Structure 1
Amino acid sequence: MNRLLTFWAGQASHHAGQVDTLFLGLAVLAVLLSAPVFILITWFAVKYRRGKPADRTHAVNRNVWLEVSWAAIPFLATVAFYLWSTGLFIDLYQPPAEALAINAVGKQWMWKFQHPGGQAEINELHVPAGQAVVVTLASQDVIHSLFVPALRLKQDVVPGRYTRLWFRADAAGSYALVCAQFCGTDHAVMGGQLVVQTPADYARWLAAAGTDGSLAAQGAVLFRQMGCSGCHGAASTVHAPPLEGLYGRPVPLANGQVVTADDQYLRDSILLPQAQVAAGYPAIMPTYQNVLGEEDVLKLVAYIKSLANAQPGGGHE
């Protein structure tokens, strides 16, 4: 079914055109490499069939260059395709720094998207045409897979970890998005639409969409509601790591390791605080694993990321 969707979806990005060209090139290469084999099998079967008068003596022919060429040419062709496909694959994991950051949570059986400005939508994702978009994906329950056939992109969404998908849609319009991983009884209805708009239309959509503040602002409210400021606030008497300037910095751990405070580290620190205890701090952080959903965790992560340029000890509410 996913292959049929890809075949009929059209192309909504430059990447989609590159993938189609690669696929057609591989198909042509497969035909060129396999057709001579089947042609020769048929020819030999007819020429040397039983009862057919034919010279069956083994003529000596030691054409070294011919023998080398029929091994070297297919090898070099496949290496070229390997390098070509590897370049496309590596590009999928290097989103531009200026990419629009959107969060997505997959759950049985819907997709929930969160925009930086706080706008939220279910089973529909609005993006501006011509702008790079990076989607951080999380699962609330089981393994899902976000698949947009028109973009030729698919990314698994695994419980307990963040995955990312980035794209630059060039053609305005609506395109199907589906879950490409069987995730339960109603897996077949877990889908929606990617709506690509002109930058002006997207700006109008953002303005018209209801919001309770930016994602970081919602995270700040949640930060206070959950009592996080009682330990991580500047005036707190509890010895807890400061969050200002934390994101993107190296963090020494109690076990001697050093990790980077990225999105995954922040998530794990909230839901699995005993897994990576910061050096010099007591292991007193409670877990919020059964308290907060993935959407709330993403809001808290957005808030902590907003403090990246703040000075430690500067304080926050």
Structure 2
Amino acid sequence: MNGSIHLWPEQASAYGSEVDHLVFAFTVLIVILSAPVFILIVVFAVKYRRGKPANRRHARNRNVWVEVSWSIIPFLALIGFYVWASDLFARLYHPPVDALEINVVAKQWMWKFEHPQGQGEINELHVPVGEPVKLTMASQDVIHSLFIPALRIKQDVVPGRYTGTWFTADKPGTYRLTCAEFCGADHSTMGGSFIVLSRADYAKWLAQSGTDMSLAAAGAALFRERGCSGCHGPAATVHAPSLAGLYGSPVPLQSGQVVIADDEYIRDSILLPQKQIAAGYPPIMPTFQNVLNEEDVLKLVAYIKSLRTTEATQ
């Protein structure tokens, strides 16, 4: 990232290249469809202008195939572009299972990023080149939108729920990131740097950044500090669901529904415990809304995820 002005944003991912191909191809299609109209407007304006001798009688015979083709061909072309664009859009919501997970908390007016090992950064996001990265995002106040032009991705960050996206950066360098949703008086200052490092440099950056504990370990400490272990711990006397192996598992609810215990379900269980009550358990879970902030909740989610890993290795 430098002070030079680019006519077109740099690309830092294969996905960005595909988006550019879509934009260029669609632009060509629009030119092909619209240029004849504007050219004929000029031709007819000159040929049939007032006082110009010209045959103004309507043609007796019409070519039906020409009239059908200029409707059918653009329609089929647009359907093709719809499928192409839908495929690109859908891919953003299916990250690889082995993607590096980074948490994002947006607030007026900064971006806070937390790496699994516990490293945190503000308004800078360091990632390794060639490795899939999954972002789990939460807003602490209003709607924000994380926009990284070099990746051609933009995702709203909405208060009250998690949103996410993923990418694989394939070009080392420093690029711009910004908020693309008006979020208040200093919205224009809510930006930063997206930094793509080689894997060796990323490992070096992690080591130099330093941290007291991983997100999961910080979540475990918070779990004990807030008294959660008193109900959900293995020695608890309270009838509460076990959290070991919970993440990613189906959970039957009192309503008869079955949901998957993903990030959103765990967040709601902490902040809105009466929203989805697990079958067979009394609704005695207290709410931690206005007690825990989004960063704390993400740490607890990371801890509960780690219980799934621990359960799987036993």
Contact 1:105 1:295 (8 Å CA) reproduced: yes
d(CA) in 1 for partners of 2:29, 2:67:
19
Match of 1:65 in 2: 65
Which region of structure 1 is more displaced relative to structure 2, 61-70 or 134-143? 61-70
d(CA) in 2 for partners of 1:245, 1:13:
35
Match of 1:40 in 2: 40
1:147 to 1:7, Cα distance in 2 relative to 1, 3 A: farther
Aligned positions of 1:175-190 closer than 5 A: 175-190=175-190
Match of 2:273 in 1: 273
SS in 2 for 1:202: helix
SS in 2 for 1:81: helix
d(CA) in 1 for partners of 2:7, 2:282:
55
Matched, 1:208 2:208: yes
Which amino acid is 1:79 matched to?
Answer: I
d(CA) in 2 for partners of 1:282, 1:59:
81
d(CA) in 2 for partners of 1:120, 1:294:
14
The runs of at least 4 consecutive aligned structure 1 residues that moved more than 6 Å come to: none
d(CA) in 1 for partners of 2:101, 2:10:
25
TM-score (norm. length: structure 1): 0.94
Which structure 2 segments of 5+ residues have no match? none
Instruction: State the Cα deviation string for residues 112-160 of structure 1 (Å, max 9, x = none).
Output: 1110111111111100001110100000111000000111110000001
Identity %: 68
Offset at residue 64 of structure 1 (A): 2.1
Offset at residue 41 of structure 1 (A): 1.4
Which region of structure 1 is more displaced relative to structure 2, 161-170 or 55-64? 55-64
SS in 2 for 1:43: helix
TM-score (norm. length: structure 2): 0.95
Instruction: State the Cα deviation string for residues 203-244 of structure 1 (Å, max 9, x = none).
Output: 011111121211101100110000000000111111011000
Which amino acid is 1:90 matched to?
Answer: A
Offset at residue 278 of structure 1 (A): 0.8
Q: CA RMSD in A?
A: 1.5
SS in 2 for 1:306: helix
d(CA) in 2 for partners of 1:310, 1:211:
22
Matched, 1:146 2:146: yes
Match of 2:79 in 1: 79
Match of 1:171 in 2: 171
d(CA) in 2 for partners of 1:178, 1:59:
58
Match of 2:88 in 1: 88
Match of 1:136 in 2: 136
Instruction: State the Cα deviation string for residues 167-187 of structure 1 (Å, max 9, x = none).
Output: 111110111100111111111
Instruction: State the Cα deviation string for residues 268-293 of structure 1 (Å, max 9, x = none).
Output: 00011111111111111111111111
d(CA) in 2 for partners of 1:243, 1:216:
14
d(CA) in 2 for partners of 1:63, 1:10:
47
d(CA) in 2 for partners of 1:303, 1:237:
22
Contact 1:146 1:178 (8 Å CA) reproduced: yes
Contact 1:6 1:149 (8 Å CA) reproduced: no
Aligned positions of 1:230-249 closer than 5 A: 230-249=230-249
- When the two structures are aligned, how many residues end up with a matched partner? 309
1:85 to 1:311, Cα distance in 2 relative to 1, 3 A: closer
Which amino acid is 1:233 matched to?
Answer: G
